[in-house]
Structure 1
Amino acid sequence: MVSFDETFRRQLHELFVWRRDVRRFRHDPLPSGAMEWLIEIACLSPSVGLSQPWRFIIIEDKARRSAVVEDFKTCNADALHSYSSERGAQYTTLKLAGLEEAPGHLAVFADKASDLGHGLGRATMPETIEYSVAAAICCMWLAARAEGIGLGWVSILNPDRIYEILEVPESWKFIGYLCVGYPQLEFDRPELERANWEHRRTSKEFTIRR
């Protein structure tokens, strides 16, 4: 059995602390093969029934990337209207995506029609297919941070529009659109916390004993 010493465990904790959702990227290109390597790491993640449901699309086409940017702008404007005037004013100051700066764009889907895994573990909780893909993204996120690469998860998008832009099968469930690149600055606190949008709570506030 592989064992990890105290130094490694301490560094791993630091990795968790410094993994951030990056929105401010430098324009520097990623090294050749970096995106493919991150995908390989993601594929080491556990999946329900060994279904390996993740599907990755590296978006390099300028027209498709521009279409995603425009969809974000539309959805972001719509989101603004859902807030009160005071909270809305604060919303307009937030940096919520790095789509125009990040050198890498990666869309991640869950293939709900895949027969890999033969349905094991999905009969009572079919949503575990999607959970498996989210776990893979988390593995990728930590691996990227260890290499000094930042990831930003963009959720202010219209999934139907993403299907159109990327031309993917209808059986794929859109899980996340990721910006990938080198961060302008690095912080150990979430950007939304630094902007006073929300504050991180302690684990005790989310834990119940029965």
Structure 2
Amino acid sequence: MSDPNRPFTDEERAGLYRAIFERRDVRSQFLPDPIPRPVLARLLKAAHHAPSVGFMQPWDFILIDSLDVRQQVLASYHEENAKAANNYSGERQETYRSLKLQGIIESPMNLCITCDRSRGGSHVLGRSSIVEMDLFSTCLAVQNLWLAARAEGIGVGWVSIVDQTKLAGILNLPDNVYPLAYLCLGYVSEFLDQPELQAKGWRSRLPLTELMHGNRWGQPMDDETLLNALKS
């Protein structure tokens, strides 16, 4: 095990930031190549080393390579996606319908990261005021896995357009376990230069300087050095 007090080298630091800035939500670029088990093990270990409130570690990992299971999830996606399309009209709806928002069948593996909301008992340290902290902790496991996957050259896509109740039924989840993230994993033909929704004109990245506040909401930042650094 490395020394946790050793400073990161320039190369290590650059690698971390590269993974952050080049991480993509992949839907269309999956290759059929299987993920080697040692690589998959590294991704799962990275996820499992996420921080969690009260060290409750509320996550479980369901690896899904069954075509039957994936087809059931895909059917839920199509049903929910048809509903979502009706939120838009005209050209916006046409653009929405043209977007590919999942790679459930194309990716060689699906992974559901769940949150056991009962893990740790009825009183979890640090969760008494914000009961959703178990969900937030599980999101950190998702992000850990996602960044590790990018470093390994593996794409990840989060399928959020599914009915969570139906998904729980498909995966036979207990009542206390919530299917937090349904992910598609696999090697890809390319990582896009920018997020796909940005590239296709759905939304643009907001300027960070416009999202900064000083001390309270709506008060301007008076740190010009920081604001200039954020613009660079």
TM-score category by the smaller chain?
Answer: over 0.9
1: distance between equivalents of 2:99 and 2:180?
23
Structure 2 partner of 1:17: 21
Partner of 2:113: 108
Do residues 31 (structure 1) and 33 (structure 2) align? no
Larger mean Cα displacement after TM superposition, 20-29 or 4-13 = 4-13
Q: Offset of 1:117 from its aligned partner?
A: 9.8
Partner of 1:205: 210
- Contact kept, 8 Å, 1:50 with 1:117, in 2: the verdict is no
- The alignment of Structure 1 onto Structure 2 pairs a total of residues equal to 210
Structure 1 pair 162–88 and aligned structure 2 pair: CA distance change class (3 A): same
Counterpart Cα distance in 2 of 1:103 and 1:33 = 16
State the Cα distance separating 1:125 from its structure 2 match.
0.5
1:17 CA drift (Å): 1.1
Q: Does 1:50 align with 2:49?
A: no
Q: Provide the rounded CA distance (Å) in 2 between the counterparts of 1:188 and 1:16.
A: 13
- Classify the secondary structure of the residue corresponding to 2:98: coil
What is the rounded CA distance, in whole Å, between the counterparts of 1:132 and 1:156 in structure 2? 21
Deviation at 1:33, TM superposition (A): 4.3
Question: SS of the counterpart of 1:68?
Answer: helix
Q: Do residues 65 (structure 1) and 70 (structure 2) align? A: yes
**Paired position in structure 2 for 1:130:** 135
Corresponding residue for 1:80? 85
Cα distance, 1:203 vs. partner? 1.6
Q: Is the 8 A contact 2:39 2:152 kept in 1?
A: no
Cα displacement (A) at 1:11: 2.4
Task: Give the aligned CA root-mean-square deviation in angstroms.
Answer: 1.5
Structure 2 length as normaliser, TM-score?
0.86
The answer on 1:120 being equivalent to 2:125 is yes
**Structure 1 residue 118, shift from structure 2 partner:** 5.1
Residue 86 of structure 1 aligns with an amino acid whose one-letter code is: E
After superposition, the C-alpha distances for 1:34-77 in whole angstroms (9 at most, x for unaligned) are 43331111011100010000111111222111100111111111
Residues 160 and 181 of structure 2 are in contact (CA less than 8 Å); yes or no, is this contact kept in structure 1? yes
Larger radius of gyration: 2
Match of 1:8 in 2: 12
Q: Is the 8 A contact 2:168 2:178 kept in 1?
A: no
Same amino acid, percent of matched pairs: 38
Deviation at 1:93, TM superposition (A): 1.2
Q: In structure 2, give the amino acid aligned to 1:51.
A: M
Match of 1:145 in 2: 150
Q: CA deviation at 1:102?
A: 0.3
Give, in angstroms, the shift of residue 165 of structure 1. 0.4
Higher mean Cα deviation, 182-191 or 31-40?
A: 31-40
Question: Aligned equivalents of 1:9 and 1:36: distance in 2?
Answer: 23
RCO higher in structure (CA 8 A, sep ≥6): 1
Question: Cα deviation per residue 1:54-113 (whole Å; 9 max; x = unaligned)?
Answer: 111111222111100111111111111111122101111111111120001001111111
Structure 1 residues 198 and 96, CA gap change in structure 2 (3 angstroms):
same
TM-score, normalised via structure 1 length:
0.95
Cα distance in structure 2, aligned partners of 1:128 and 1:26: 35
Distance of 2:32 and 2:80 partners within structure 1: 24
